Amino acid sequence: MTEAYVALEDGRVLEGRGRAPGTARGELVFTTAYTGYEESLTDPSYEEQVLTFSYPLIGNYGVREERFEDDRVHPRAALAKEFTEDVAEWLESEGVPAVDHLDTREVVTTIRDGGAMKCGIAVGEDVTEEDAKEQLEACKAMSDHTEIGEQVSVDEVEVYGEDNDGETVALVDCGAKGSIVDSLLARDAEVHVLPHDASVADVEAVDPDVLFISNGPGDPVNFEQTIHLVEEFVEDTPVAGICLGQQIVAEALGGTTEKMDFGHRGVNQPVLDLASGQVVMTTQNHGYTVAEPGEHLEVTQINVNDDTPEGIDGIEYDVITRQYHPEANPGPEDTLDFFDDVLAMADSRSEQAVPADD
Ligand SMILES: NC(=O)CC[C@H](N)C(=O)O
């Protein structure tokens, strides 16, 4: 059995069973999701993080590529009570260290009490605690990953659904989950996936019916060019966003964002729609939140547990954003209608744009 050490920022070093070798470092977070480990492990939003599963057995229904949200595993390491052989082999094939036989209840309560914290991981035949501590020493704070967009975004524009007859979407890829693109394609949209730092001319070349800002890792303030795109287009083009996208839109329109103690990561987060009084169950994975929406946006949905903004609409602009993941994957599908609302907003705008005498 290989040695495995998890060095925590509070000075403790946890010892577990090594399931996939290597060393790593990152912000230690946890998800309470009891399904969807393939989707979570391939969600680009987890870039530069170490993902702990609070659900004790991870891998009990195998590993299948059709469930992946991206072409690689994004967390820097994975921790659990028990990984199956399937998942351990998958993580090893991806070069992602994995540790199990941990008391993940202790890890989760440590994060809940002390906040998401840095950690260092070392797994291997002859690693020592010192190797994990060295990783911890080298670990950057999440907000200091100022180029994180480069690590997860497309390099070139990619076009999907060219034969579709629906709305044209310019999706700015800040670490997009594949099921967001799929949800738009399923509604007959043509989707142009642009780099997170695309230029104004790049977006103009698409001539989109809606500018869609994706989910993604890290601190929203570090996506400066994406924020600039929202500032440039919001007066004339409907804007939508998911998770990081909601945060970027708020930053662009005079709002502010802040880091949460440990965030929301799971598939059973209740969200209240303020207008209808309806509560929906949502899937979430975020550690920042909108602190103030600013004078151009209004909060329309809140998290039932802590009142943080979950849905934001434009006041004078056509804007719809969600902090949770309406595409699910994993989690409940209560909120898929968000994509219908986005495309209806785009459609109504493009109808208005047709000159009266046509
Ligand atoms: N899933 C996401 O888009 C995460 C958004 C942002 N990186 C956060 O942690 O809040």
Nearest CA to ligand 1 atom 5: 244
* Ligand 1 atom at shortest distance from the alpha carbon of 325: 1
Q: Which atom of ligand 1 is nearest to the CA of 245?
A: 3
CA of 49 to the centre of ligand 1 (A): 11
Contacts of 251 (CB under 8 A, 6+ apart): 220, 221, 227, 257
Compute the distance between CA of residue 251 and CA of residue 143 in angstroms, rounded to an integer. Answer: 15
Taking residue 238's Cβ as centre, other Cβ atoms within 10 Å add up to 27
Identity of the amino acid at 213:
I
Is 285 marked as a binding-site residue? yes
Contact, 180 vs 215, CB < 8 A? yes
288 annotated to a ligand binding site: yes
Which segments of the chain are extended strands (E)?
2-8, 13-20, 22-31, 49-53, 57-58, 77-79, 82-83, 98-100, 117-124, 158-160, 168-173, 190-195, 210-213, 239-242, 256-273, 279-292, 297-303, 309-314, 319-322
Strand partners, 210: 169
Is residue 216 part of an annotated ligand binding site?
A: yes
Distance CA 88, CA 119 (A): 20
139 included as an active-site residue: no
Rounded Cα distance between 309 and 113, Å, is: 22
**Which residues, in sequence order, are bridge partners of residue 51?**
29, 78
**Cβ(216) – ligand 1 distance below 6 Å:** yes
Please tell me whether residue 194 adopts helix, strand or coil conformation: strand
Residue 167 belongs to what H/E stretch? none
Instruction: Kindly report the average pLDDT of the chain as a whole number.
Output: 96
* pLDDT given at position 349: 67
Strand, helix or coil for residue 150? helix
Dihedral pair phi/psi, residue 255, rounded to 5°? -85, 180
85 catalytic? Reply is no
Q: Is position 5 annotated in a ligand binding site?
A: no
* Cβ(195) – ligand 1 distance below 6 Å: no
Please, which residues have CB within 8 angstroms of residue 329's CB and are 6 or more apart in sequence? 36, 39, 67, 69, 177, 179, 283
Instruction: Take residue 279 and report the two structure tokens written for it.
Output: 């509560």
- The answer to whether 174 is a known catalytic residue is no
> Ligand 1, atom 8: nearest CA belongs to which residue?
286
Atom of ligand 1 at shortest range from CA of 219: 7
Q: Is 285 in the pocket of ligand 1 (CB under 6 A)?
A: yes
Catalytic residue among 38, 47, 48, 327: 327
**pLDDT score, position 164:** 97
Q: Compute the distance from residue 263 Cα to the ligand 1 centre, in Å.
A: 9
Per-residue pLDDT of the chain (358 residues; tens, 9 = 90+): 578 999 999 999 999 999 999 999 999 999 999 999 999 999 999 999 999 999 999 999 999 999 999 999 999 999 999 999 999 999 999 999 999 999 999 999 999 999 999 999 999 999 999 999 999 999 999 999 999 999 999 999 999 999 999 999 999 999 999 999 999 999 999 999 999 999 999 999 999 999 999 999 999 999 999 999 999 999 999 999 999 999 999 999 999 999 999 999 999 999 999 999 999 999 999 999 999 999 999 999 999 999 999 999 999 999 999 999 999 998 998 899 999 999 999 887 666 655 555 4
**What is the Å distance from ligand 1's center to 109 Cα?**
21
Q: How far is CA 180 from CA 40, 56, 158, 325, in A?
A: 14, 28, 14, 9
Complex ipTM > 0.90: yes
Each residue of 199-217: pLDDT tens digit?
A: 999 999 999 999 999 999 9
Can you tell me the distance from the alpha carbon of 314 to that of 96, in angstroms, rounded to the nearest whole number? 41
Q: What separation in Å is there between the alpha carbon of 258 and the centre of ligand 1?
A: 11
